[in-house]
Structure 1
Amino acid sequence: MSGRLVIVGAGQAAFALAAKLRALKDDRPITILGSEEVFPYQRPPLSKKYLLGEMTFDRLLFRPEQWYVDNAVELRTSAWVEEIDRSAKTVRLQDGSTVGYETLALATGAEPRTLPPGIGGDLQGIFTVRDKRDADRLMAEMRPGRHLLIVGGGYIGLEAAAVARHLGLEVTLIEMADRILQRVAARETADTFRQIHASHGVVIREKTGLVCLSGEDGHVKTAELSDGSVIDVDFVIVGIGVTPNDRLAREAGLDVANGIVVDAFTRTSDNAIHALGDCAVLPWKGQQIRLESVQNAVDQAEAAAAILTGGETAYNPKPWFWSDQYDVKLQIAGFNLGYDETFVRPGAREGSLSIWYFREGQFIAVDAINDAKAYVTGKKLLESGINADRAILSDISADLKQLLV
């Protein structure tokens, strides 16, 4: 038996690490310190099926309470960690108590960016979507006929717009950049989703920023936009990205760079401390990246578990992501960072298509919109290292299976 593993954070990466260690028959003491008052749960459905009332919270739990008992995993909820003492190998909690560790894993996730108070960001009725508390507060606001302003045209904002329209709200979404999804997807993907949302009655205003929010009795009432217009709003959802929770690491003297820097074996600059999930900055194809996805949280955690039990295999991410909006499923294989060319291929059925990304002639990612075949094919290509033949992609009559030959 090894010494105690303390995991700070109780999200997807934290749970996956503990579960994988137990699956590998590792019997070291494990303590999970979670700041929320509830047991670890899935977060993606919060802004979709949970908010729609189609899924109860108990169905979001990774495992019931008895699992932690049966697997000798100590879970401490409402446990906010204030400080890491690397020399003493302890963490200090907000209540003043300390927990000792032999190995520490930081799975602290990320926090949504918020609007500054100077432009009305401290008014009531302004929300982000990250945890159960956020979703519960939002649920009370989602009533038919109300006007929702969404600030930010990334996936979080678009998913929120889809849920709100499904519930009968009027939705205006503003994006300061030239177009929605500018940071994360090609123009062709953005054009497709703009059209989908417009067909569902969402008003999307691109190249439009927020100047300020004004309120009445402390609650948001109007929004002044950068084009000079003023609109009435009942509440606001802010989806302008996230900031990694790296404060503990930074104050403990670990290397940080918009996240906690780790090597290919999930180790920080202190070999006794690992970091994983949304908070970790990891090496990938000669770059330092941070992957905000459930898939990376699980895969990196399971790689860390194998390393902690004596394995010597470096973590090699194979990114994939997804987004559900209305009846549209977007599946993304790969990471389109630095792409310089795209191919658009219609799918076999109406409303399906795929956008294939290349960098210097090499296939790097695919966005598959209601096109599972394109997603699966692209994923297999990336996993096998086969480059996608653009002649086949350009031939609509060609079967995508030919790409794998």
Structure 2
Amino acid sequence: MNLIEKFKFDEQKVINAISEECKKKNIDVFLVGGVVRDILINRDCHDIDICIEGNPKDIIPLLGDVKEYIYYDKFQTSTILFNNYVKIDLITCRKEVYNTNGSLPEITPATINEDLYRRDFTINAIAYDILKGKLIDPFDGINHIENKIIKSVHSESYLEDPTRIFRAFKYANRYGFSIYDKESIKNAISQKALDSISNDRIIREITLLCQEECWINNIVSCEEYGIFKIQHSILSAENSMCNYETLNDRLINLFVSIIDENFREIFCNNSILHKEQRSAFKNYSKLIDVTKRKLEKSMDNYDLYINLNKLSINEIKLLSYNKKLFYKLYNYIIKMKNTALNVKGEHISELGISNLRLYSSILNYLLRLKLNTGIIDEKNYLTNNLGEILNVIEYKDR
């Protein structure tokens, strides 16, 4: 099988240019990982990884039509963007050694077979020798693709890198494959393997799970294997305030769905999610109690506005899964959130009001009136009813 023929013309041009320069230097060059897997599964391939038994920085200067590139010396990897906008990851074949389970590995240059051994699953541990035109499949990955099986490359895989647990769910649900290593995954989870990796690494994998089309299945898999418990009535529940096409709203829905408070803490304490989103997650428990009490006492639209206008949109979306709060929150978002007065302090001054302490009282009066009655031109209303407004304010201040 000639895998190069499966690529678009511009991609073939770049791959051939790299392989030609490698051939001149007597460097073996391979397509590896997901790109080989997706071709064999007959899916479109988006990320092209080329692995060489040499250093990419010896090849990059020889290539024409390079628009820009980034080189990572520690890993001897590079990402190259060509003038035809084809992007290639050109990497050194490498061996990984984990000093302790869950740690980041020590890396050394290696052969292609050693490189394939470090990979997560057999379906991702297939290489295509570009110069010889043949597949390299030391772990029976092609057979596992044909039989729709997700299987780790070796028995210690999930303990040495527990993020592979999440990736097993991702690939199984994406391709409709079954997981061969069910007991190995359950054993790793029962041995608290996830405790050996940082919150950042966990939340990064959770985010990737939620980016998948079958994200609900991924979350259910996490529960089935005992990573966390979820409230199924909330997971992907119909909510007109959330758009499940967006990653942000999927994460919000997942957070509210998770019953395990310890796992919720991971959403709050990491450097992967946006600061505003983490803040909303941190405030959630206190927020729902306080807001519920306040909204129960809210008698009109103005009270509702005052209680909600300081909340972020993510905080409001989190609260929207509470059925008792939903209507008021929805009413605020649709009708009140963007309310603004067309009256400024200068307009009040033009009417002869010199007492600055009255300004905020007048503006609050007009805001209450606008929210509760729907007046359109509050500036005109102020001009025509100034005396009445001042009398009401004076009466309230007694």
TM-score, normalising length: structure 1? 0.27
Give the structure, 1 or 2, with the largest relative contact order (CA under 8 Å, sep 6 or more). Answer: 1
Indicate the structure (1 or 2) with the bigger Cα radius of gyration. 2
Flag the structure with higher strand content.
1
